[in-house]
Structure formats: structure tokens, C-alpha cells
Amino acid sequence: MSTKLTRIKKRDGRIVKYNINRIVNVIFKALLSTGTQPEDAEKLSQKIAKKVEAKLIKIFGEAKRIPGVEDIQDLVEAALLEAKQFDAVKHYIEYRQARREIREEKKRILNREKLHPIEKRFSLNSIRVLASRYLLKNREGQIIESVPHMFKRVAVAATLPELLYDPKVYKRPKKFPHVQPLSPAGDTCDFDEYSLIQNTEVKDFLQKIKEKVNHLPKETITEIHSGYTLGNYPITYGHLERLAVAFDELEKTTGRIKISFNKFLDLLSKGYFDKYSELAKKFYKMMTEQEFMPNSPTLMNAGLRLGQLSACFVVDIEDDITSILMTNLHIGLIFKSGGGVGANYSKLRPEGDYVASTGGTASGPLSFMRIIDTTTDVVKQGGKRRGANMGILEITHPDIEKFIMVKEDLSKFTNFNLSVGVLPQFWEAYSNKKDMPLINPHTKSVVRQIDPDHLINTIAHSAWKSAEPGVLFFDNINKYNVLKKYKGEIRATNPCGEQPLYPYESCNLGSINLAKFITLKDGKPHFCYKKYYSVIRIATHMLDNIITINKYPIPKIRANTLASRKVGLGIMGLANVLYKLNLAYNSKEAYAFMDELAETLAYYSMEKSVELAKEKGAFPLFDKSEYPDGKLPLSGVYEHPKPKKDWHGLIEQIKTYGIRNSYTTTLAPTGSISMIADTSSGLEPQFALVYKKNVAVGSFYIVDPVFEEYLSCKKRGGEKLKQAVADNSGSIQTLTDLFTPEERRVFVVSQDIHWLDHIIAQLTWQQWNSSSISKTINMPEEVTPQDIKQAYLIAHEIGLKGLTIFRDGSRIGVIEHLGDREKFKPQPSKYALEILERLLTNKGSIYYKRSDLRNELYDLIKGVLEGKSIAGLEQMPLIKETNGEDTTEAKEGKCPVCGGTIVYESGCEKCIECGWSACPVS
């Protein structure tokens, strides 16, 4: 008989290493559930686990077979009974049954008889989201792709560009390689990518792939495998097509390809490139361990026929009917490929303007936006959902007032987010209390003068009433724009506002799950920066490769994107990390932690981008940018009082070797991908700690996982406690009889945080962000338009690039509060008030120039602080403004996919139950 146990058999038949600690942990949790003190539970669980192990050795040693998971669980149950831990036995039996039900539900959803270990790792909610939106289905709607296969096809797509830079393929120069930008290649109506191919072997190969793929049935995933592999990773026909195009592109832009394409394929077929499967393994591991997720189009389309991997696009619209209709066609093609589109409509002449070619009058930007709105209704993104638009009109356009107020009727422009593009001339007029000219973009003549106070008040009132429009501060967007001296100013963004782009440019995004970097040290949670550094670098590498392997919907977009090579690495899970570290979201300690996270993200993503430039070349427009002058697209490098990283050293590295990506960071909304990663969304506070989900057979409560774990450790919970929190809008702030002051300090949700602290959180990340941020500034129902106006002024003065405000109750069909609770009025943090004091004493601030604005701000803050004042404000006279209009009644919205609850988060509508989002990034 064996005296040692070394292996066990998993349910799927795999043989894995035996680990007694797993038995100890399940017994420990069962004992904790009975109210046993942790110290006693730890000792007893060790004792019982050893008895279980002894029985395993005796039974299976004699039988000379490997025990299975169920065998071990049966013995755990028996050992708990033997120890007379009857309540623990009951808990353990219930736990086993719950796990069994979850496994069966996953099998049902995935249409599988057995689950892969990766599918076991992901939560049931993650599996639901993956099944509903990402995994491939046949014509009958049945899932035909496993979760690990999806991540493998993404990992392979992101790895294949490495093959092109292998020493046998690519001749690396002594100095860092310079890559010529691609020409847009013909008229914008030319969408045939194959016509751009120069290499005849590549052309022949692509034709063969096209013929094969056209004859393949779409019902089975295995039939799209090409027969080529990268180690153990299958290569699809979709992968091969993109690899061939990338080969041709690298050949004609660098002239450094050493072998023919047929020789390249021969090396691939013989396994020469299998060494790169280690990189694919890194990408795969990073995703399957939920440390990083790319934007939705990458998960949906990588390695497939569609092949379009970017979420964010910007197009241009000139003031003629041909351009307008052509742009509409381009937008339709982008939606079809899975992307979202932003456009600045300010070049279009105003409504009523004379049109010489017809002798008629112009119908104005809003009328042409309706054309785009209709196109959006009928063309689904990637064939799976409606598209999303950002519509921008600059503040000097004669139709600006109509634009500002158009969505007060929420039945209009339902496929658009709207933003006012605020220009420097507005701030000049506003600071000096002078009228601002509205200018006809066609004739360049002044149509009329307008009071800038009236304009900003109108924007604030409309946002108060309908949550739109947002505002984009073009001066702040372009202040550190390293491409401005060559390409001019950026005047548009993607649909959620976080990615400023030039016309016909795109960007692919991805987010790191911060919650995966918490480790225990001396029994206390700590953030593991070493692991964070590593994932930042791997994710940056992955996003850069995705640019190369991407299939762009229009040649002009391909050329412009490859010229700048912008990537947008961001984060998710911030709220969960703060909970785990016992930090209140709106505390000075949390802001300091966010600041370090943000600077670290910026620094290591750029450092990795420099390494990539050494190997593959800087982005083609590098020499025309401000990088060679030592400039960086980060305000924190110049304005932060105490940067922690060696930015001077990095600047010198960039000047010597170049940088692969002109921009590296973006903080995007992460609705669905954060659900896949089982974490909180973006940099937003948690929406609710507990909310109630209603289904056909009844209802149950969904609890934030960190909060639930905390309650479990404190031996608290139960349906009554969950109901109390859910009925209190998911907040615990007024439940003083149920939660301690310390618990209420840490476990804050979005509505518990003053709007000023939401702005400060955005600032903390913005100063280290090369692009911009998608974040919602939550405000309670009782705020006035005056508050919103002050939020705009503060945001601009501290350097934010844009702002999206959501007042609770402002949008019909979207809710913020999930129940009725006693009013809790959050106060701004001391740190936020210090920011305000800085603005008031800064001679360059608009508050310093205009005393009336200081008075209004004093009134707001003094009211919030219930009579308390801050330095510099005590002597200001009070100004009382009242608003006589009734607030809009908020009605519960329903998700178009699952019928769940719709909320407004990160600048767009999102379902908190299935992950559906109006934003293509999520």
C-alpha cells in the first residue's frame, strides 16, 4: 500500500498534483460559516484535513487507483460528521450542490457535455456574457466555440506579427528602423484591400484563401482551421489572410524582408516559428487569468473572416453633399465591421444658409446627423448590435443652441452621444465677459454675437435635464498633442469621448484588471506592483501587434492608423481594489494610490513601446512629431509636483530609439469586458453593493464580490441584510444600525461620492493619460444647473479634456437609484477642497478673473458643507439661484438583450446584469 498521495483526477479526466491545502481551505470556509473563530477554524481544519488524507491513502493506496474530486469531497463530508461539526456539514453539502448547479448551468449555456478548466475558472455571469456576445454560433444560434478557443484565436492573432521580424525573415538595421507611412492609396470609395497588395505571391495566396473560405460551411468552428499551427495553437484562414497582408505591407514600407512569401509559408509549415508560441501563451494566460482584456471587437473578430479588431474610429465631413453621403457610407462600413464612430459636424453650413449650386437653403448639421442616425439603426456592429456615434459641434457654430438642446427630447438621436467642442475663443470671451462671435463655417463670416454666459448656462441646463450634451475642451486635448505641429489640432473623439483621433484614424483599446494584483503580505492585502509592471508591458506588446494584424474597413483608415500606431491601454477593477485595500474612493490616500497606478501605467507602457521601436521601428510619423524635441503627451510630466518615474531618462531613450506608438494609454468604459473579468467597471466607483435581480421564477440578490467576501469573513450576511442594502439603493451610508463608520467609509458607491471628488478622480488619472477618459460625473437629483456649470468650469481649469455628467433622474429609461432611501448628501473631500482653493488663488484661473464665479462656487460649497467654509472663500457674498422646473421623472429602463436594468456609466448606457453596452469598446 502506498504511504503517499501525489495525484488526483479532475472531473474532466485530467490528472493533477495533489495539494492538501485545497482540502484545508474548503474545511476552513465550512467551519467559518458556523461562527467558529478564525484561529480555531484554522487549527481544526488542519486536523480534519489530515484525517481525510489518511483515509485517502488507505483506500486508494490499497485499490492502487487515483482518487477523484468527488471521492475527496465525500471523505471531507464524512470527516466533518465524525468531528460532530454538523452545521459545517450542512454548509458543505449546500456548497457542493451550489457548485454542481453552476457547473450544469455553464454546460447548458455553452452547449457542452464537459467544461474546460478555463470555463470552470470563469464565473457563471462571465460565461453568460461570453455566450451572449462573443463565442461563435451556428445559423441556429447554438454556440460552437469554447471559451479557451476564443482566447486562443485572439492570442494567435496578436502573436503572428512577431513572425515577420524573425532574423530569417527581416533584416534588422543597425540604427532603429525607420518606417515610411503608407499612402491612403486612391479614392476613399476604394474599399478593395487586395488591390493594394504588391507582392504577387501574397496576391496568389490571398486568392486561394478566398476561394477556400467561400466554399467552407459556417456551422463548425473546426472547418475554419487552415492546417497551419503555431506550436499547439491552431491558425485559422482569417489569421493567414491578415498575416499575408502584413507581410506585403512590411516589405513595401521597409524593404527589409529577406525571403519570399512562399519561403515564409514553408518555414511556417515546418514549425520553424513554433518558438513564438511562448508569446501566444503569455497573451493567452493574461486573458484567461482575467488580468487583461482587449476591446470587444478583438474578442469577437480575431482570426475570423471579419478580422476588424478596433473599437474607435473618427471620420470627417466636408460641406458638400458628396462628402456627406460618402461619409455615411464609411460609417455604415465601420458599423458593419464592429466599430463605433465619432465625427465633428462643424464644417457643415448652418440651417437656412444659401446654397449657390441649387439656389436653395441648407438644412444644417442636425438634419445630416439624422441620416447617420438612421444608418445606425439598420447597420449592426459586426452583425451583432447597433452602432454608436459621437456627434460634435463646435461652440462657435451658428446652430450651436439647437444642437445643445436637441436631446432634451430623448426620442431624437438615440444612436448618438453629443458633445459641444469648446474652443479657446470661448474661454477668452467668457473670462472677459464679452460676447463671442458665431461664425458661418462656409463663408467664414460672423452670423451674430452671443453671450458666452448664456451658452454655458444652456449647456448646463440641458445636461441637468437630459444628461447631454457632454463637453470636450479642445485646448486641453491639444495642449500636449505631440502630432499637432504636423497634423494640426484634433477636433473629434470616439463615441464615449475617451479617444481623441484625427479624421479617418482608429485605435484599439484594452484594459488591465487591477483586482488581480492583490496579494497577502503579513496577513494584510498589498498591491503587487511587480506583477502590474509585467502585465502592462505584455498588454502594450499585444495591442501594438493588433494594429499590424488588423483588417481595416477603409484603406484611408488603415494608412492613418499605421502612421500613428495609437494604442489605448487602460484599467478596470479600481473600485474592487480600493475595497480590498481598505481605501475609500474619495480619500487622499486613494488619490495617492491612483496617482501611482496611473503614472506606472503611462511609464511602463511607453518604456515597452520604446523597446518595440528598437526592434521594429518607431511609428512612421515619429520624425514629424514633437517626440524628437523631447516632448511627451502627458501633462503630469510637466505639471505634476512630484513625478516618481525617471521621465528624463525615458525622454532620452525616445530621442535615441524612437517610440513605437504615438499614444499608449486610454481609460475606456469596460461594461462587458469587466464582467468577463469578474471585476468592477473602468475607474468608476461601484454602482451598487447589492441589487435585486428579477427573473421569471422569482428574484435574487447580486452582491459585489469583494463586499460579499468581506461579509462572509465577518460572519454576516443573509437575505435580510442584502435586502436592506438593495432597498437603500445599493448603499450602506444611512444604515447606521447595520454597518460601522469604518465600513461606511470604505464601501462607498457612486452616489455616495460628491461630484467634485468624481472630477478629482478623473484628474488624477488624466494627468498620466496620453489620450482621455470615459467617466461619468454622478450628481444627485437635487443639484441645480448651477452645480453643473461649476463642474464644467472646474474641469476645464484643472486640465480635464472633457466631461460627462449624469444627474440622477435626468434620463427617462435609465435609472441610477435602485430603491428609495433616506437622502444622503455626500461632502467633498478635504483634498478636493484644496484643489478648489488652488484655483481661487491662481492668477491664471477664470475664478481669479471673475469674482461672480467665485461667489457662485462659494455658495455651492458652503451649502454642501452646511455653513463651513474654506480658506479664501469666507468673505464672499452668498448668491442664491433657484430653479423652478420640475425634475424629469426617472422610469426604469430595460436592457434590449436580457431585459435587465440599464444604468448610465462611463459616458454610455450599460446593463448591469448581462453587460450589454451602447459603447463598442465595452
CA distance 878 to 857: 9
So which residues are the catalytic ones? Answer: 494, 496, 498
Q: Which of these, 233, 270, 248, lies nearest to 158 by C-alpha position?
A: 233
Whether the per-residue pLDDT at 2 is higher than 70: the answer is no
Count of CB atoms within 10 A of residue 808's CB? 21
Burial call 56-92: b when 16+ CB within 10 Å, e when fewer:
bbeebeeeeeebeeebbbebbbebbeebebeebbebb
E strand or H helix that includes residue 226: strand 225-230
Whether the per-residue pLDDT at 893 is higher than 70: the answer is no
> How long, in residues, is the chain?
922
Give the CA count within 13 Å in the CB-facing half-sphere of 124: 14
The x, y and z cell numbers of residue 454, run together, are: 448664456
| 830-841 vs 588-616: helix crossing angle, rounded to 10 | 70
Longest dimension (CA), the chain: 100
Give residue-wise pLDDT tens across range 215-257.
766 545 555 778 899 999 999 999 999 999 999 999 998 999 9
Whether the per-residue pLDDT at 185 is higher than 90: the answer is no
Q: Which of these, 798, 491, 528, 507, lies nearest to 636 by C-alpha position?
A: 798
Give residue-wise pLDDT tens across range 314-325.
999 999 888 899
E strand or H helix that includes residue 805: strand 802-807
Burial call 770-782: b when 16+ CB within 10 Å, e when fewer:
bbbbbbbbbbbee
Which neighbouring-strand residues pair with 854?
A: none
Give residue-wise pLDDT tens across range 403-454.
999 988 877 888 899 999 999 999 999 999 999 999 999 999 999 999 999 9
Give residue-wise pLDDT tens across range 813-865.
554 454 444 567 888 998 998 888 888 888 888 988 898 888 888 877 777 66
Alpha helices, H only, 658-784: 671-676, 705-713, 719-727, 741-746, 755-766
Q: Which amino acid is at 574?
A: L
Q: Reply yes or no: is the peptide bond before residue 469 cis, omega within 30 of 0.
A: yes
Q: Which of these, 277, 274, 202, 286, lies nearest to 244 by C-alpha position?
A: 202
CA angle, 574 then 579 then 583, to 5°: 90
The x, y and z cell numbers of residue 7, run together, are: 495525484
The x, y and z cell numbers of residue 446, run together, are: 460672423
Q: What is the DSSP string of 768-781?
A: T-SS-B--EEEE-T
On whether the CB atoms of residues 66 and 15 are closer than 8 A, the answer is: yes
Measuring CA to CA, how many Å separate 194 from each of 241, 244, 306, 555? 10, 11, 15, 10
Q: What is the 3-state secondary structure (H, E, C) of 485-534?
A: HHHCCCCCECCCCCCECCCCEEEEEEEEEHHHHEEEECCEEEECHHHHHH
CA distance 258 to 461: 63
Whether the per-residue pLDDT at 874 is higher than 50: the answer is no
Phi, psi of 671 (to 5 degrees): -50, -65
E strand or H helix that includes residue 131: helix 124-133
- Mean pLDDT to the nearest integer, 722-733: 91
pLDDT band with cut points at 50, 70 and 90 for residue 913 = low
CA distance 85 to 49: 13
Average pLDDT, the chain: 87
- Per the rule left: phi > 0, alpha: psi between -120 and 50, beta: everything else, 527 is beta
The x, y and z cell numbers of residue 101, run together, are: 448547479
E strand or H helix that includes residue 52: helix 38-63
Beta carbons within 8 Å of 401's beta carbon, 6+ residues apart:
455, 458
Model pLDDT, residue 229: 95
CA 606 to chain centre: 19
- Label the pairing between strands 416-422 and 470-473: parallel
Whether the per-residue pLDDT at 694 is higher than 60: the answer is yes
Model pLDDT, residue 189: 46
What is the DSSP code (8-state) at residue 554? S
Output 632 or 727, whichever has higher pLDDT. Answer: 632
The x, y and z cell numbers of residue 529, run together, are: 506592483
pLDDT band with cut points at 50, 70 and 90 for residue 629 = very high
Rg (CA), the chain: 29
- Label the pairing between strands 360-361 and 380-381: unpaired
Which neighbouring-strand residues pair with 393?
A: 420
E strand or H helix that includes residue 540: helix 529-549
